[in-house]
Amino acid sequence: MKTVLVTGFEPFGGETINPSWEAVKPLQGCQIAGANIEVCQLPCVFDISLEQLYAVIELVKPEVVISVGEAGNRSNISVERVAINVNDARIPDNLGQQPIDTPVIVGGPSAYFSTLPIKTIANELNNAGIPATVSQTAGTFVCNHVMYGLLHYLNQRPPAMRGGFIHVPYLPEQATRHSGAPSMAVEMVTAALKIAIESALRNETDITISGGATN
């Protein structure tokens, strides 16, 4: 049976929960499109997050890896297109590290593209009534770091495993503490991730569409 690894993050930036982990957690042991789902929580810490991710990948040997993180200012599920070889932290990570303009991987390429069918996923989410978009930046904090490190790792290891990153909004309970911030219910985020997993398993290549579903 195929395995899909889905990761979420621990809380950071003064929050007591992270919507990515709250939405990913219930997927442990689920079977989706003939695949077994394994989940894991990553620390919001540069470098150690990647060490843990690599260790779990070696353990569960997934066909597909989807990492998920919080993007509190966004109203949509954001299917990330690209990770860049830059750490540029606006705030310290959970170990107090705040790298500025350093590479994720010394000597690595400038960027990696997601190998998930990003537009297909965004399209299917919107068709299911879940607001989604393709995002052109995963930022320069720990989420971009993990996405870049994941794609670098997958790129080095044939047979090709596929992977990518999805940012999710605050949960409503977080938004109550950030006046005006957008939010999405955890059940909707979990449903979105199930659709994304199924879509990633069924579609090895992406569709070509502009605008519309992807904003």
Catalytic residue among 167, 178, 187, 204: 167
Determine if 66 is a binding residue for ligand PCA (CB under 6 A): no
Active site residue 143: yes
Answer for which of 131, 139, 149, 163 binds ligand PCA (CB under 6 A) is 139
Is the CB of 45 or the CB of 197 nearer to ligand PCA? 45
Give the count of residues interacting with ligand PCA (CB under 6 A): 12
Determine if 141 is a binding residue for ligand PCA (CB under 6 A): yes
CB 20 to ligand PCA: min, Å: 5
Q: Binding segment for ligand PCA among 29-37, 75-83, 136-144, 203-211 (CB under 6 A)?
A: 136-144
Catalytic residue among 38, 70, 80, 124: 80
Closest-approach residue to ligand PCA (CB): 143
Is the CB of 35 or the CB of 145 nearer to ligand PCA? 145
Per-position DSSP letters for the chain, written without gaps between them:
-EEEEEEEE---TT-S--HHHHHHGGGTT-EETTEEEEEEEEPSSTTHHHHHHHHHHHHH--SEEEEEEE-TT-SSEEEE-EEES-B--SS--TTS----SB-SSTT--SEEE--S-HHHHHHHHHHTT--EEEES---SSHHHHHHHHHHHHHHHSSSPPEEEEEEEPBPHHHHTTSTT--B--HHHHHHHHHHHHHHHHH-SS-----SGGG-
Q: Binding segment for ligand PCA among 57-65, 111-119, 141-149, 157-165 (CB under 6 A)?
A: 141-149
Active site residue 80: yes
Reading the block at residue 123, the tokens are 């399209």
Determine if 190 is a binding residue for ligand PCA (CB under 6 A): no
Active site residue 10: no
CB 75 to ligand PCA: min, Å: 15
Structural contact between residues 19 and 189, judged by C-beta atoms closer than 8 angstroms: yes
Determine if 153 is a binding residue for ligand PCA (CB under 6 A): no
Structural contact between residues 4 and 38, judged by C-beta atoms closer than 8 angstroms: yes
